[in-house]
Amino acid sequence: MTQTETRFGPRLPIVRGGGMDVRLRLVLGSTLMLFLELALIRWLAGNIVHLGYFSNFVLLGSFLGVGLGFLRYRPGIAKPYYFLVVLAALVVIVLKFPVTVDRSGNDLVFFTSLHTSGPPAWVILPIVFCAVAAVMAGPGELVAACFVELPRLDAYRFDIMGSLLGIASFTALSFLRAPSVVWGIVVAVLSLVLLSPRPPLVTAIAGLVIVGALTVECLQPGITWSPYYKVHTSTQGPITRIDVNGIPHQSVSSIAIKTAADPLYLVPYERIVNNPLRDVLIVGAGTGTDVALALSKGAKHVDAVEIDPRIYQIGTQVNLDRPYADPRVTVHIDDGRAYLQRAHKHWDLIIFALPDSLTLVSGASQVRLESYLFTKQALQTVRAHLNPGGAFAMYNSYRDRWLLGRLANTAAVAFGHDPCIDLLSAVRAVVSVGVSPQDQQCGTGPKAVTRAQLDGPPPVSDTRPFLYLRSPGLPSIYLWALALILFVSLLSVRVIGGPLRRMRPYADLFFLGAAFLLLETRAIAGFALYFGTTWVVNSIVFAGVLLAVLAAVEYTRRFRTPPIRVMYALLACALLLAYLVPTGFVLRQELLVRLVLSVVLAFLPIAFANVVFAKRFAQTADGTTAFGANLLGAMVGGCLEYLALIVGYPALLGIAGLLYLAAFTLLPRSAIATAA
């Protein structure tokens, strides 16, 4: 059969490998790649405390691995049987040497500044990064093998379809709260199918080891999985303790036991004046202790907002006060800030009840579940939802006085006057504030402190929602981690991919990958603010990004697009529009308008960027090297994401713009002519 040329590259005969159509192999390979990446992010964070603060560490390792898989692939090379063996070793090592938090204290955790058992961060993080890269290189090779058998854009579109299927599959299992062994079965089966017809015995054994080890994990008493955490429950007498991702999270007992042991929960009710408590809102309702207390104080109705369905379920099962069975309680499984943004109701008392997630919400941003709950805009929204004479309170255990000072400053800015601050111990404190100074009654004595005594930093905002970062900057532990990532990446690319000059013709694609990752990060952060930092929103954004990419590819395949220079100009306009529209303007809109605006602002630049990529990728001479360069660029973009800690999320659009400018500058003249 004679090869023919299309404007998207050489049209090759559809080759079958291992008895399976190449397009099906590509879809299954991409499905495995995305599913395995998401599973590693969730599972490793569930067993290694440090990764709760470095979840994009796994994402960066995945990008490196897949990129190396593309660079390593050569026609005729043996299938990557090794990756299941590496994955089995990683699973066994992590389960054998877990990292957990000692129960010696109840301090809130920041940036892994905690007392842990198990290997230290400087040992486990490099092992995890390198192991993830080695594991993900396998699916990368499997996908690369299909890329060379198809026209460029055909291969890319089937890759996106498989990625969407991988996201949809993992999202469905998250919805069903499937245990980790189910994830292992999916990975093992897909891998062995793609490595057929005759995978070595050691590979099959590795698949069985993975499934067996995860089965042992899931059979341990009290182990379940929520969409956010690995949850461990243990009961001693009337108290049930809950650990999430190896961190002591909360305990469940009757309000009589709880309030006798800790007056923290009672303080908000001592600070309110003439409050009828007709309607109370509890954000971070958890297992129901705060809800039960509000009912005992005479609340006529309680709206209980809890983001994690498994934590709520545990409360319905073990809380002896049975608050969630009370007809006066309405439960909302939702993000607290998002619920407040949508609500048209007012309350007499709003309480933020220990809402700390202790982990990042996704592998592609520095957003925590509670990031947008403690900004000055969030507390202004709280004040707007209080009835006249109403009050707001928040309490927690705070490792540092400056954090308590920041929250007190935030309350003062939002309400226009100083709050009451009760410091019950070195770490446990309550901040209470009324709609007006007359609606609060501050305590006296040594436990009552003032804002001036705390000397806290200014409030955080929706553009930089980093509550636990005292001042703009990169913590040293992040700097060391990023330096390690870049060093290992450069070394491995040189060793496996050969001389770096091999990728030199595709330097523009490298910068396109870096910029694209920043656009994705900005989209995740934006949707988390507009619609909540829930796993559902996160999955929708990932899927939306891929759908925008697929739409761009399909449009490029089927229709004549403007010259690549024009597409770069349209991309620049889309980036400028997204930068100029303030987040506050979008938040003030009704839900439908907010949805339309957020989709346009987030996905229009992504669509234009991928038309640029599709036009450029279609006429590359070496598709696997070009795609590998793009993936490695995405990994660098993941490192640049940390700049948001300094400049905020909106500024990431400016950094992405500079990267796109670099890509345009490095665009070969031949590519400009070909992609016109």
In whole angstroms, give the CA distance from residue 86 to residue 68: 15
Strands 347-353 and 279-283, by their bridges, are parallel
Mark whether 473 and 445 lie in a shared domain: no
Domain end (from 171, 193, 227): 227
Beta-carbon contacts of 258 under 8 Å, excluding residues fewer than 6 positions away, are 265, 289, 293
Domain end (from 227, 247, 272): 227
Domain range for residue 88? 14-227
Mark whether 182 and 298 lie in a shared domain: no
> CA torsion, points 107, 110, 111, 115, in degrees to nearest 10?
0
Mark whether 623 and 651 lie in a shared domain: yes
Mark whether 111 and 238 lie in a shared domain: no
What pLDDT sits at residue 676?
Answer: 55
Mark whether 518 and 501 lie in a shared domain: yes
In whole angstroms, give the CA distance from residue 577 to residue 358: 34
Tokens 């995890």 sit on residue:
128
Q: Is residue 543 part of a domain?
A: yes
Q: Give pLDDT tens digits for 405-429.
A: 999 999 999 999 999 999 998 878 9
CA 69 to chain centre: 25
Q: Give pLDDT tens digits for 301-332.
A: 999 999 999 999 999 999 999 999 999 999 99
Mark whether 183 and 249 lie in a shared domain: no
Beta-carbon contacts of 91 under 8 Å, excluding residues fewer than 6 positions away, are 184, 209, 210, 213, 214
Q: Give the number of domains in the chain.
A: 3
Counting residues of the chain whose pLDDT is more than 90, the rounded percentage is 58
Q: Is residue 369 part of a domain?
A: no
* Strand partners of residue 280: 302, 349
Cβ 533 vs Cβ 368: under 8 Å? yes
Highest-pLDDT range among 101-115, 117-131, 416-430: 416-430
Tokens 């698949």 sit on residue:
207
Instruction: For residue 470, give Cα distances in angstroms to 108, 110, 115, 456.
Output: 15, 11, 21, 9
Mark whether 203 and 297 lie in a shared domain: no
Residue among 636, 372, 643, 620 at smallest CA distance from 493: 636
DSSP secondary structure of 442-487 = ---STTEE-HHHH-PPPPP-SSS--TT-SSSS--HHHHHHHHHHHH
Q: Is residue 424 part of a domain?
A: yes
What pLDDT sits at residue 13?
Answer: 42
* Strand partners of residue 20: 17
Mark whether 472 and 417 lie in a shared domain: no
Amino acid letter at 543? Answer: A
Q: Give pLDDT tens digits for 434-467.
A: 999 999 999 888 889 999 899 899 999 999 998 8
pLDDT band at 33 (very low <50, low <70, confident <90, very high): very high
What SS3 state is found at 568? helix
Domain end (from 197, 227, 257): 227
Q: Is residue 266 part of a domain?
A: yes
What SS3 state is found at 247? strand
Q: Is residue 346 part of a domain?
A: yes
In whole angstroms, give the CA distance from residue 626 to residue 502: 10
What pLDDT sits at residue 74?
Answer: 86
Mark whether 134 and 263 lie in a shared domain: no
On average, the pLDDT of the chain sits at 87
Cβ 492 vs Cβ 676: under 8 Å? no
Q: Is residue 3 part of a domain?
A: no
Whats the size of the chain, residue-wise? Answer: 676
Mark whether 447 and 489 lie in a shared domain: no
Count of CB atoms situated within 10 Å of the CB of 554: 14
What pLDDT sits at residue 249?
Answer: 83
In whole angstroms, give the CA distance from residue 150 to residue 624: 11
Lowest mean pLDDT among 55-64, 406-415, 460-469, 515-524: 55-64
> CA torsion, points 43, 49, 54, 55, in degrees to nearest 10?
20
Lowest mean pLDDT among 12-16, 247-251, 520-524: 12-16
Q: Is residue 340 part of a domain?
A: yes
Burial (Cβ within 10 Å: 0-12, 13-18, ≥19) of residue 156: buried
Mark whether 585 and 556 lie in a shared domain: yes
In whole angstroms, give the CA distance from residue 423 to residue 450: 10
Mark whether 439 and 472 lie in a shared domain: no
CATH number at residue 392: 3.40.50.150
Cβ 55 vs Cβ 45: under 8 Å? yes
CATH number at residue 484: 1.20.1250
pLDDT band at 5 (very low <50, low <70, confident <90, very high): very low
Q: What is the mean pLDDT of residues 51-65?
A: 80
Burial (Cβ within 10 Å: 0-12, 13-18, ≥19) of residue 97: middle
pLDDT(10) > 50: no
Both tokens of residue 205? 């054994």
Beta-carbon contacts of 342 under 8 Å, excluding residues fewer than 6 positions away, are 591
Beta-carbon contacts of 108 under 8 Å, excluding residues fewer than 6 positions away, are 356, 358, 396, 397, 398, 399, 403, 427
Q: Is residue 334 part of a domain?
A: yes
In whole angstroms, give the CA distance from residue 36 to residue 32: 6
This prediction has a pTM of 0.88
Tokens 């996905």 sit on residue:
603
The torsion angles phi and psi of 400, rounded to 5 degrees, stand at -125, 145
Cβ 565 vs Cβ 611: under 8 Å? no
Beta-carbon contacts of 488 under 8 Å, excluding residues fewer than 6 positions away, are 64, 126, 129, 130, 133
